[in-house]
């Protein structure tokens, strides 16, 4: 009897030791998940929040509703557009077994064509590897500290996107990894800081560009004459969301004359701008140089492997 118990205990320990520690995400990132007891074509998206954002049609099929008389709503701001989600706790299974967690839905889908979008922090495995392409010769890996929307943590779970943190002009700046959008972008406040630190100018007309939830924002070209380096990436150009979380009017136009170094400029003092929302989103135009993005929740870092 004792031998049998010991053997069973050993088997349980072996099973626990073999629990997957890493999830590999390839291609379009789509997995077959179960949400509220229904099959859900779900995309694991490094730019998405940890709270699964489900399509309104799936919420209707699952007959979801606000909990109690007050419920919990989470709002996301995309430039000047506020997208409010209703939320509810439901069984969710991403392949590691069902567990109750809060999901959100709005009339606007986070990304059309999927039943749900969710960030890597929601996965049961502590390490999530996005394999963008096969590794190439001469690649290097940079390890970046992770950053989170700290206000998104609390009693009702984790609603945060996971960012990397870099230094621009001596102040931290968030970097979002967004391989499912074609173009790299910076919010207006981030662009002003980038222009100051990397000799940046703007050019071209504003072009409506989709960000998330189908919301389009005006975007111009930001040229960095001193490229921003993120590991092996040398970023010399990206789009600037001209009026989102700041104002890009202070950035010099590409065809404007250089400022006179002897000119005295008087700047009015005012409330210090909150830089915490300054964000760069690295899109497919930059990430095509990279083979993988690894989110390591245990170490709270992001490892980016790219070629020059």
Residue 155 placed within a domain: no
Residue 58 placed within a domain: yes
The pLDDT of residue 106 is 92
**pLDDT tens-place string over residues 222-246:** 999 999 999 999 999 999 998 877 7
* Whether the predicted pLDDT of 3 surpasses 80: no
Q: Is 100 exposed, middle or buried (0-12, 13-18, 19+ CB in 10 A)?
A: exposed
Residue 216 placed within a domain: no
Residue 150 placed within a domain: no
The pLDDT of residue 115 is 97
How much is the mean pLDDT over the chain?
Answer: 86
Which structural domain, as residue segments, surrounds residue 49?
23-130
Residue 60 placed within a domain: yes
Residue 33 placed within a domain: yes
User: Residues 117-122: what's their mean pLDDT?
Assistant: 96
The pLDDT of residue 181 is 97
pTM of the entire predicted model: 0.85
| Domain CATH for 36 | 2.40.70.10
User: Residues 72-80: what's their mean pLDDT?
Assistant: 82
Residue 291 placed within a domain: no
Residue 135 placed within a domain: no
What is the tally of structural domains in the chain?
1
User: Model confidence at 145, in pLDDT bands (50, 70, 90)?
Assistant: very high
Nearby residues of 273 by Cβ (< 8 Å), 6 or more positions away? 189, 246
* Whether the predicted pLDDT of 154 surpasses 80: no
User: What is the per-residue burial (b if ≥16 Cβ within 10 Å, else e) of 238-266?
Assistant: bbbbbbbbbebeebeeeeeeeeeeeeeee
User: Residues 6-17: what's their mean pLDDT?
Assistant: 48
Tokens representing 38? 């229904």
């Amino acid at each position: 009897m004792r031998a049998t118990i010991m053997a069973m205990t050993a088997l349980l320990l072996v099973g626990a030791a073999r629990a997957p520690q890493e999830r590999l995400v390839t291609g379009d990132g789509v997995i077959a998940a179960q949400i509220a007891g229904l099959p859900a074509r779900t995309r694991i998206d490094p730019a998405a929040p940890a709270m699964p954002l489900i399509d309104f049609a799936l919420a209707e099929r699952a007959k979801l509703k606000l909990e109690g008389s007050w419920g919990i709503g989470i709002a996301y701001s995309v430039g000047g557009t506020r997208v409010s989600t209703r939320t509810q706790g439901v069984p969710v299974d991403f392949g590691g077994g069902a567990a109750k967690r809060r999901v959100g839905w709005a009339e606007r889908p986070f990304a059309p064509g999927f039943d749900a979008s969710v960030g890597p922090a929601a996965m049961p495995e502590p390490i999530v590897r996005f394999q963008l392409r096969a590794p190439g010769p001469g690649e290097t890996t940079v390890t970046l500290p992770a950053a989170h929307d700290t206000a998104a943590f609390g009693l009702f779970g984790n609603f945060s996107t996971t960012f990397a943190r870099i230094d621009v002009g001596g102040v931290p700046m968030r970097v979002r990894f967004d391989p499912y959008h074609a173009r790299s972008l910076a919010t207006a406040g981030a662009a002003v800081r980038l222009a100051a630190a990397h000799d940046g100018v703007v050019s071209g007309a504003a072009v409506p560009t989709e960000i998330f939830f189908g919301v389009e924002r005006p975007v111009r070209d930001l040229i960095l004459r001193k490229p921003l380096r993120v590991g092996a990436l040398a970023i010399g150009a990206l789009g600037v969301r001209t009026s989102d979380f700041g104002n890009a009017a202070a950035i010099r136009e590409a065809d404007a004359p250089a400022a006179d170094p002897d000119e005295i400029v008087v700047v009015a003092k005012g409330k210090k701008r909150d830089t915490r929302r300054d964000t760069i989103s690295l899109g497919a135009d930059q990430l095509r140089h990279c083979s993988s993005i690894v989110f390591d929740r245990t170490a709270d870092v992001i490892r980016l492997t790219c070629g020059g």
